[in-house]
Amino acid sequence: MTDSKSIFLVVGAAGKFARLLIPELLRRNSTVRGLVRNAERGDLARSWGTTQIAIGDLRNPDSLKRAVEGVDGIFHIGPAFAPDEAAMGIALIEAATRGGVRKFVFSSVIQPTNTRLKNHASKIPVEEALYSSRLNYTILHPANFMQNIGLTWSSILRTGEFAEPFPKETKIARVDYRDVAEVAAIALTEAKLDFATLELCAGMFSRLEIVSILTKELGRPIAAREPTFEQWAKNTPLPYNDQQIHLLSKVHEHYREFGLGGNSLSLAAALGREPRSMSQYIAELARQTLAEEGTKLKDHNNA
Ligand SMILES: NC(=O)c1ccc[n+]([C@@H]2O[C@H](COP(=O)([O-])OP(=O)(O)OC[C@H]3O[C@@H](n4cnc5c(N)ncnc54)[C@H](OP(=O)(O)O)[C@@H]3O)[C@@H](O)[C@H]2O)c1
pLDDT digits (tens, 9 = 90+) for 119-154: 999 999 999 999 999 999 999 999 999 999 999 999
Could you tell me if the CB of 12 is within 6 A of ligand 1? Answer: yes
pTM over 0.95: yes
| 255 belongs to a structural domain | no
**Average pLDDT score over the chain:** 96
Per-residue pLDDT, 3: 60
pLDDT at 80 over 60: yes
| 16 belongs to a structural domain | yes
Work out the average pLDDT over 194-202.
98
| 281 belongs to a structural domain | no
Give the CATH number of the domain where residue 182 resides. Answer: 3.40.50.720
| 156 belongs to a structural domain | no
pLDDT at 222 over 50: yes
Could you tell me if the CB of 77 is within 6 A of ligand 1? Answer: yes
Reported as half-sphere exposure (CB side, CA atoms, 13 A), residue 125 has a value of: 15
pLDDT at 89 over 80: yes
Q: 31 forms bridges with which residues in the sheet?
A: 7
Radius of gyration of the chain (CA): 20
Could you tell me if the CB of 48 is within 6 A of ligand 1? Answer: no
| 287 belongs to a structural domain | no
| 71 belongs to a structural domain | yes
Per-residue pLDDT, 4: 84
Element (H or E) spanning 216, and its range? helix 207-218
Structural domain including 192 reads: 7-145+175-202+261-276
| 161 belongs to a structural domain | no
Ligand 1 atom nearest to 119, measured from its CA: 47
| 124 belongs to a structural domain | yes
The answer to whether the CB of 135 falls within 8 A of the CB of 96 is yes
Residue 108, classed as helix, strand or coil, is coil
pLDDT at 2 over 80: no
User: Which pLDDT band holds residue 1 (cuts at 50, 70, 90)?
Assistant: very low
Residue 163 CA, ligand 1 centroid: distance in Å: 23
The answer to whether the CB of 105 falls within 8 A of the CB of 130 is no
Q: Measure the CA angle with vertex 3, ends 139 and 19; round to 5°.
A: 40
User: Which pLDDT band holds residue 52 (cuts at 50, 70, 90)?
Assistant: very high
Query: How many domains does the chain contain in total?
Result: 1
Per-residue pLDDT, 303: 76
